[in-house]
Structure 1
Amino acid sequence: MSAFLRPADADEPPLTLPPDQSAYRPVSSHLAIAPPVSVVIPAMNEAENLPYVFKTLPDWIHEVVLVDGNSTDDTVRVARELWPGVTVVPQRGRGKGDALISGFAACTGEIIVMVDADGSADGAEIVSYVSALVSGADFAKGSRFANGGGTDDMTAVRKLGNRVLTAVVNAKFGARYTDLCYGYNAFWRHCLDEIALDCAGFEVETLMNIRVVKAGLRVQEIPSHEYNRIHGVSNLRAVRDGLRVLKVILRERGTRKNRPVRPAMITGEAR
């Protein structure tokens, strides 16, 4: 498995890659990465937010895959101006899950990172997700409630609902999550064969979190800070979406036997 080149001491000269390691992409003067990283961004009418999203993305990313949900604004044009090599995938179905599945299928990188298009995620955190993966995790799961994480966006009702649903998943599936309904995650592409996503809606994030545990994949939570949406109005509805998430939990509880779970690698404790 490919991995990071470790940072050199501060008093050492900048890292120089030998010719046979030209595939390594520099992260800094003392750090490089071999696995190509694909970032998937599902977007519908997010032209105003994309400049903020793309501004935070590291330049060492292998590719950006934007899944356009039939936008009526300049989402696609803006994306191409900001990242000339962006891969644009027209979404044929509806829903966030459908968009992500379409985006994952278009990725060519070994590592896939999920990033929302509303400006709430900081792309600079991607290096933490990738570090967890190349250090042995299969799935790096963002958490707003692990030590070091936070949120500016969640209402008290949504926090309570997330906490209850997280507790249910932990109890039913033997997980140790501190945050269930968060869309900033990263994983090795081969994990898709293990979790076989078949969910079109917002609840896809919960489905992924459940199935990685049921598949016995190694999970590491990454403290992440969620910012407010910059422009536009969120489509999230606490009660409606909470019920959809609960239905997924109940459905998954009755399907597939859990595989032996590998030791989870959780960073920090719940806040």
Structure 2
Amino acid sequence: MNKPFAVSVTVVVPAMNEAGNLPHVFATLPTWIDEVVLVDGNSIDNTVAVARQLRPDLRVVAQTGRGKGNALIEGFTAARGDIIVMIDADGSTDGGEIFSFVSALVQGADFAKGSRYAPGGGSDDISPLRSLGNKVLTGLTNLLYGTRYTDLCYGYNAFWAHHLDALALDCDGFEIETLMNVRAAQAGLRIREVPSHEHSRIHGESNLHAVRDGWRVLKTILRERTRGAMAAQAQVALAE
């Protein structure tokens, strides 16, 4: 397939013990992407060996910290592409949708966030409890930050690499998606939601815990609101 975009695209895949899922995940990736960065979270299975066999040009980053947030931050730092796309290694995100995310960016967006609740999106995996929690947290974020998000806690996003400094990511856990969405809004980035269909994990069990991680997301939302207010006050003080 001819390359459809005149920009380079890096796909960042955080993975820990996902050897059984990677053949499916990598098979969904478009042939025109320029780089795949696998961030290995100290896997005890053959995740890295399988990944290298599937994609000889793969770049592997050995995670130095812990948690999904840390893994993504290390992967973003290593990425060389103009556009960075983040997907999961469990088979829940469809690499075939990358075209839609990159298209949104090329057409003028700074940050393209996946949504399971936008028209055309959906999920085979989210539980009623997680769905309710996500809607409450999404509503709170929209209220506090003036956004119009339909899906706050979803890990399929893409953005221009030169906006990494504006996002200034600094968290370790699953709240990374929330932090990205909030800071993108605070930075005034042009955000576009992209409909996405979440599939069920193929093999293994998720490390996500609805109550624990929901609490971390809530704290992130509130902390960032305070951080933003303090930054605004500091700017006013400097102007005076």
- By how many angstroms is 1:241 displaced? 0.7
Taking the aligned partners of 1:63 and 1:235, their CA distance within structure 2 comes to 27
Q: Which runs of 5+ in 2 are unaligned?
A: 233-240
Deviation at 1:154, TM superposition (A): 0.5
Q: Give the corresponding residue for 1:26.
A: 2
Q: Residue 86 of structure 1 aligns with which residue?
A: 58
Is it true that 1:222 corresponds to 2:194 in the alignment? yes
Q: Which of the numbers 249, 253, 259 marks the counterpart of 2:221? A: 249
Give the 5 Å matches for 1:71-82.
Answer: 71-82=43-54
Over residues 32-64 of structure 1, what are the superposed CA-to-partner deviations in whole Å (9 max), with x where a residue is unaligned?
211100000000000000001000000100000
Q: More relative contact order in 1 or in 2 (CA 8 Å, sep 6+)?
A: 2
1:102 and 2:74 equivalent? yes
Bigger fraction of residues in helix: 2
Q: Secondary structure at 2:2's aligned position in 1? A: strand
How far residue 196 of structure 1 moved from its aligned partner, in angstroms, is 0.3
Map 1:32-51 to 2 at 5 A: 32-51=4-23
Residue among 211, 220, 224 paired with 2:183: 211
Q: Deviations over 1:81-136 (max 9, x none)?
A: 11110000000100001000000011000000000000001100000000000000
Aligned pair count reads: 231
TM-align CA RMSD: 1.1
1:212-233 CA-to-partner distances (Å, cap 9, x unmatched) read: 0000000000000000000000
Tell me, yes or no, if structure 1 residue 65 matches structure 2 residue 37.
yes
Q: Distance in 2 between matches of 1:164 and 1:256?
A: 21
> Which of 149, 170, 182 is the equivalent residue of 1:198?
170
Identity of aligned residues (%): 67
| 1:256 CA displacement | 2.2
Provide the C-alpha distance between the structure 1 equivalents of 2:208 and 2:74, rounded to a whole number of angstroms. 21
The one of 175, 200, 209 equivalent to 2:147 is: 175
Give the alignment partner of residue 52 of structure 1, picking from 2, 18, 24.
24
Post-superposition Cα deviations, 1:163-186, rounded to whole Å, max 9, x if no partner, equal 000000000001100000000000
Superposition deviation, residue 75 in structure 1: 0.3
Distance 2:143 2:113 in 1: 18
Aligned equivalents of 1:142, 1:82: Cα separation in 2: 26
In 2, the alpha carbon distance for the partners of 1:112 and 1:105 equals: 10
